[in-house]
């Protein structure tokens, strides 16, 4: 059974569009995260969210917004996509301060 | 500025060699240090270290944290070609902030 799943796996879109990436975890974890992997394979935290608090990395443009309909989901919505948004985005979850389980990643390409 | 630095950035060895990967950090309110192995897909978890001086071991891999030196090492003995990957160090600090290092790209040649 998949622990952390993301959809879609690949996303190709035009500049200026709005898109969402979905993330679901079936581990019962209380915290979920979004990371962006840059060209150097560096994973940068974008958001961490539990049912009490959303923590936003201040370097993330406000075009990016996390939306959590329930504890098992944390979706990433991106407005007005730019070329520089092209990257692989990873969702992850953890229980409190334990290790992260990562999703398979979503490869976003903005044309 | 909070940072996590890994060295070396890349490493090429032959099967059977032993390698040591380094991770040093400067963060506020350190909570834990994590090692991941990343191949083509998402990073897979290796170790979580919270206490200094206690070695974690899994097969040919082992890791230890030195809080005094603000660093950790990941050892891989008797390397195999399947060990080729990017090894990521990540530090959890403050309230769930998590910062990754740039990774060490390990290539194991037959």
**Rounded CA gap, B85 and A41, in Å?**
12
Strands A10-13 and A106-110: parallel
Confidence (pLDDT) at B57: 94
> 3-class SS at A83?
helix
**Residue A33: burial class (beta carbons within 10 Å; 0-12, 13-18, 19+):** buried
Q: Does position A39 have pLDDT exceeding 70, yes or no?
A: no
Residue B102 backbone class (left: φ over 0; alpha: ψ -120 to 50; beta: rest): alpha
| CB < 8 Å to A44, chain B | 100
Confidence (pLDDT) at A100: 77
B1: number of Cβ within 10 Å: 4
**Rounded CA gap, B15 and B104, in Å?**
17
Q: Does position A1 have pLDDT exceeding 60, yes or no?
A: no
CB–CB contact B96 A31 (8 Å): yes
DSSP string, A26-85: -S--SEEEEEEE-TT--EEEEEEEESS-EEE-TTS-TTEEEE-SSTTB-EEEE-S--GGG
For the segment B2-59, what is each residue's pLDDT rounded down to a tens digit?
788 999 999 999 999 999 999 999 988 898 899 999 886 667 889 999 988 889 999 9
- Residue whose C-alpha is closest to residue B43's, from A38, A101, A4, A21: A101
Query: Per-residue confidence at A2, pLDDT binned at 50, 70, 90?
Result: low
* Mean pLDDT, range A68-76, rounded to an integer: 91
* Mean pLDDT, range A9-30, rounded to an integer: 94
Confidence (pLDDT) at A3: 82
* Mean pLDDT, range B50-75, rounded to an integer: 94
Confidence (pLDDT) at A97: 60
Q: In angstroms, what separates the C-alpha of B15 from chain A's closest C-alpha? A: 25
Query: Per-residue confidence at A108, pLDDT binned at 50, 70, 90?
Result: very high
Which range has the worst mean pLDDT, A62-71, A79-88, B4-13? Answer: A62-71
Give just the sign of the alpha carbon dihedral A28, A99, B87, B79: negative
**In terms of CA atoms, which chain B residue is nearest residue A56?**
B97
Name the most confidently modeled range: A58-67, A76-85, B36-45.
A76-85
For the segment B98-108, what is each residue's pLDDT rounded down to a tens digit?
777 888 999 99
* Mean pLDDT, range A33-41, rounded to an integer: 77
Confidence (pLDDT) at B78: 97
Q: Which phi and psi (to 5°) does residue A70 adopt?
A: -160, 180
**In terms of CA atoms, which chain B residue is nearest residue A91?**
B42
Q: Are A72 and A63 in contact (CB under 8 A)?
A: no
Query: Per-residue confidence at B72, pLDDT binned at 50, 70, 90?
Result: very high
**Rounded CA gap, B69 and B90, in Å?**
16
Tell whether A105 is within 8 A of chain B (Cβ).
Answer: yes
């Amino acid at each position: 059974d998949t622990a952390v799943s993301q959809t879609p796996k690949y996303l190709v879109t035009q500049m200026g569009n709005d898109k969402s990436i979905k993330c679901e975890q079936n581990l019962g974890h209380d915290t979920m995260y979004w990371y962006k992997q840059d060209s150097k394979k560096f994973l940068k935290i974008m958001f961490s969210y539990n049912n009490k608090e959303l923590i936003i990395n201040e370097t993330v443009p406000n075009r990016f917004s996390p939306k959590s309909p329930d504890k098992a989901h944390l979706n990433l919505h991106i407005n007005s996509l730019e070329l520089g948004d092209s990257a692989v985005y990873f969702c992850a979850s953890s229980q409190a301060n334990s290790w992260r389980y990562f999703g398979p990643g979503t490869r976003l390409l903005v044309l | 500025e909070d940072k996590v630095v890994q060295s070396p950035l890349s490493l090429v060895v032959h099967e059977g060699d032993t390698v040591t990967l380094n991770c040093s950090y400067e963060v506020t309110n350190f909570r834990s240090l994590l090692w991941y192995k990343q191949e083509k897909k998402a990073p897979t978890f290796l170790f979580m270290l919270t206490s200094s001086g206690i070695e974690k071991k899994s097969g040919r891999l082992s890791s230890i944290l030195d809080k005094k030196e603000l660093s950790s090492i990941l050892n891989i003995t008797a390397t195999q070609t399947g060990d080729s990957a990017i090894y990521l160090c990540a530090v959890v600090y403050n309230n769930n902030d998590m910062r990754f290092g740039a990774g060490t790209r390990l290539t194991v040649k037959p």
